[in-house]
């Protein structure tokens, strides 16, 4: 979406300048143009750029406290250099990649399927829609607590059900074989509705006449799904995917309560490692370097993903 809208702006601007013939309306336009964008710019400047600059500066320093005062020591790129040797950070990057790609892929498929199913039925749409939207209403902290109990080795409902059908109980969160998968399951439960919401919104704005035409041509349901719905929805799918991927990359609350990154490093995720280094260990310099490296990493990922989708979009 982000890339396609810039295309739009680029093509729109030259005509616009030509159309605004006289100077008077141009000035008035400019006034409104600046005024309408100003609040967003101000918020971004004050509450995002400033703290991010702060992070960048921090990442080049060591901070010590004595007599209630801080002393900053410039250490250059030392923190960035030591990232390479941080085995916890490496483990967390890997886990987060696995976590977010697996979780988001499943969420996209399920969300799309649910959106298709919901839009294809006549009665009860409202009910299903409401039910599927429920999980995003629940604070992550509650999700963590409730699933922790459901996963519990000794008291959890999962092991009770497994026991009822003769399966050995498993320690879903405490055994490194299952822990990451368990977290992924929770995330799928929590965030599939989000994909569902965005995909359904896009599905319902698709032009009906195309379908009517294809009905006349005798296209099967699968054909119209494959050749009409999916291509038309590709931009929405891409946006939803990227959007969810970013959110998944930030996963924190759930992991914090469910496993605390363990057992071992099996569920250590990036924002948790950052939190640990930055706050728990109180190493803001090193933690900032880790944050900034992570942004760079994700930014790269997003650029690659949107480049790929754009190429696909332009060839089709």
Partner 1 sequence: MNFSAKIRGALIAVFTLPLAFMSVSHAQDQVPITIVINQSPWFAGFQTVVGQYQEKTGNTVSLDVNPFAGSLEKQRSAVRSKESPYDILIMNAGFFIEMYKGGFLSPLNDIDPKFALDKDLYTFDDSVYWDPSTNKIDAKTGKLMSVPINPFIPILHYRSDLYAEKGLKVPETWDDLLANAKALNNPPSMYGIVQRGARGTFDVTYDVLPYIWSYGGGLLKDQKAGDYTIIVNSPETKAGMEMYLKLAKEAGHPSTAGQTQANVLQNMATGKAGNIIAVLAASIFDDPNQSAVVDKVGFAPPPHAPGFQSSPGLGHWLGGIPKNIPGDRQKAALAFLNWFQSKDAQMAYAEAGSPPVSRAVLESDLGNQPKYRWMKALSKGLTTARLPFFIPESAQILAITELGFNQIISGQTTVNDGLNNMAKEMEKVMTAAGYKAPLLPDLKD
Partner 2 sequence: MSAAYSAPLRSTLFRHGLLVIAAALVLFPFLWIVAAAFKTQISLLTGQLLFQPTLANFVNVLFSSTSDYVRNFSNSLVIASASTVLVLVVATLAAYSLQCMQWPSWVLHSMLGWSVIFHMVPPITLAGAWYSMFRTIGLDNTYTGLILAHTTLNLPMALWMMGVFVRDVPKELIEAAKIDGAGTPRILRHVIVPLVRPGLAAAGILSFIFSWNEFAVVLTLSQRQTATVPVAIGKYAQENTIAYTEMAAASVLSMMPAVLLLLIAQRFIVRGLTTGAVK
Residues engaged in binding partner 1 (CB under 8 A): 65-70, 88, 152-155, 169, 171, 173-176, 256, 260-265, 276, 279-283
State whether the Cα torsion 208-210-216-217 is positive or negative: negative
Would you say 221 or 311 has its CB closer to partner 2?
221
Residue 29 in the binding site for partner 2 (CB under 8 A):
yes
Partner from partner 1, partner 2, none contacting 209, C-beta within 5 to 8 A by type: none
> In the complex, what is the shortest distance from the CB of residue 281 to partner 2, in angstroms, rounded to a whole number?
13
Name the 3-class secondary structure at 72.
Answer: strand
User: Interface with partner 2 includes 307 (CB under 8 A)?
Assistant: no
Please report how close the Cβ of residue 2 comes to partner 2 at its closest, in angstroms: 5
Residue closer to partner 2 (CB basis): 176 or 305: 305
- Angle of CA points 223, 240, 103, to nearest 5°: 95
Let me know the angle formed at the C-alpha of 104 by 173 and 128, rounded to the nearest 5 degrees: 95
Cα 88 → chain centroid: 22
Residues from 238 through 297 that contact partner 2 (CB under 8 A): 239, 243, 246, 249-250, 252-253, 257, 270-271, 274-275, 278-279, 284, 287-288, 291, 294-295
Q: Does 61 participate in binding partner 2 (rule CB under 8 A)?
A: no
CB of 29 or CB of 281, closer to partner 1: 281
User: How far apart are the C-alpha atoms of 211 and 224, rounded to whole Å?
Assistant: 7
Q: In the bound complex, what is the minimum distance in angstroms from residue 187's beta carbon to partner 2?
A: 13
- Backbone angles phi and psi of 65, in degrees to 5: -120, 130
Cα separation of 307 and 300, whole Å?
11
Least distance (Å) from partner 1 to the CB of residue 68? 5
The dihedral over CA atoms of 123, 226, 210, 5, expressed in degrees to the nearest 10, equals 100
Of the pair 50, 230, the CB lying nearest partner 2 is at: 50
Spatial distance between the Cα atoms of 297 and 295, rounded to a whole number of angstroms: 5
| Contact call for residue 234 and partner 2 (CB under 8 A) | no
| Cα distances (Å, whole numbers) of residue 156 to 60, 148, 149 | 46, 8, 6
- Per-position x/- string for 101-140, each x denoting binding to partner 2 as judged by CB under 8 A, each - no binding: ---------x---x--xxxxxx-xxxxxxxxxxxxxxxxx
- State which residue, 61 or 276, has the beta carbon closest to partner 1: 276
- Is 85 near partner 2 (CB under 8 A)? no
> Is the previous residue joined to 298 through a cis bond, with omega within 30 degrees of 0?
no
Please identify, using beta-carbon distances, which residue of 177 and 207 lies nearer to partner 2.
Answer: 207
What phi-psi label fits residue 170: left (phi over 0), alpha (psi between -120 and 50 degrees) or beta? beta
Least CB distance from residue 186 to partner 2, whole Å?
Answer: 9
Find the helix or strand (DSSP H, E) in which 153 lies.
none
């Amino acid at each position: 979406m982000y890339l396609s809208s810039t295309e739009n702006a680029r093509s729109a601007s030259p005509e616009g300048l030509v159309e605004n013939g006289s100077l008077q309306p141009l000035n008035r336009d400019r006034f409104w143009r600046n005024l309408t964008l100003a609040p967003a710019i101000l918020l971004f400047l004050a509450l995002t750029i400033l703290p991010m600059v702060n992070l960048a500066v921090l990442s080049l320093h060591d901070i010590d406290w004595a007599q209630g005062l801080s002393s900053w020591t410039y250490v250059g790129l030392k923190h960035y250099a030591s990232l390479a040797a941080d085995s916890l950070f490496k483990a967390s990057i890997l886990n987060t990649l696995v976590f977010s790609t697996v979780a988001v892929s499943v969420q996209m498929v399920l969300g799309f399927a649910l959106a298709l199913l919901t839009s294809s039925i006549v009665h009860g749409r409202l009910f299903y829609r409401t039910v599927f939207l429920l999980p995003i209403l629940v604070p992550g902290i509650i999700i963590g607590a409730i699933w922790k109990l459901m996963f519990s080795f000794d008291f959890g409902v999962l092991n009770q059900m497994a026991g009822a059908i003769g399966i050995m109980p498993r320690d879903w969160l405490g055994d490194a074989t299952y822990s990451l998968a368990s977290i992924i399951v929770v995330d799928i439960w929590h965030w599939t509705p989000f994909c569902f919401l965005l995909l359904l919104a896009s599905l319902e704005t698709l032009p009906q006449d195309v379908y009517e035409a294809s009905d006349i041509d005798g296209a099967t349901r699968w054909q119209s799904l494959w050749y009409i719905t999916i291509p038309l929805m590709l931009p929405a799918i891409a946006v939803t995917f990227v959007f969810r991927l970013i959110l998944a990359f930030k996963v924190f609350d759930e992991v914090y309560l469910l496993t605390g990154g363990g057992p071992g490093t099996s569920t250590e995720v990036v924002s948790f490692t950052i939190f640990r280094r930055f706050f728990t260990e109180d190493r803001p310099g090193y933690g900032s370097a880790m944050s900034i490296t992570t942004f760079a990493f994700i930014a790269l990922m997003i650029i690659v993903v949107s480049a790929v989708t754009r190429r696909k979009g332009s060839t089709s």
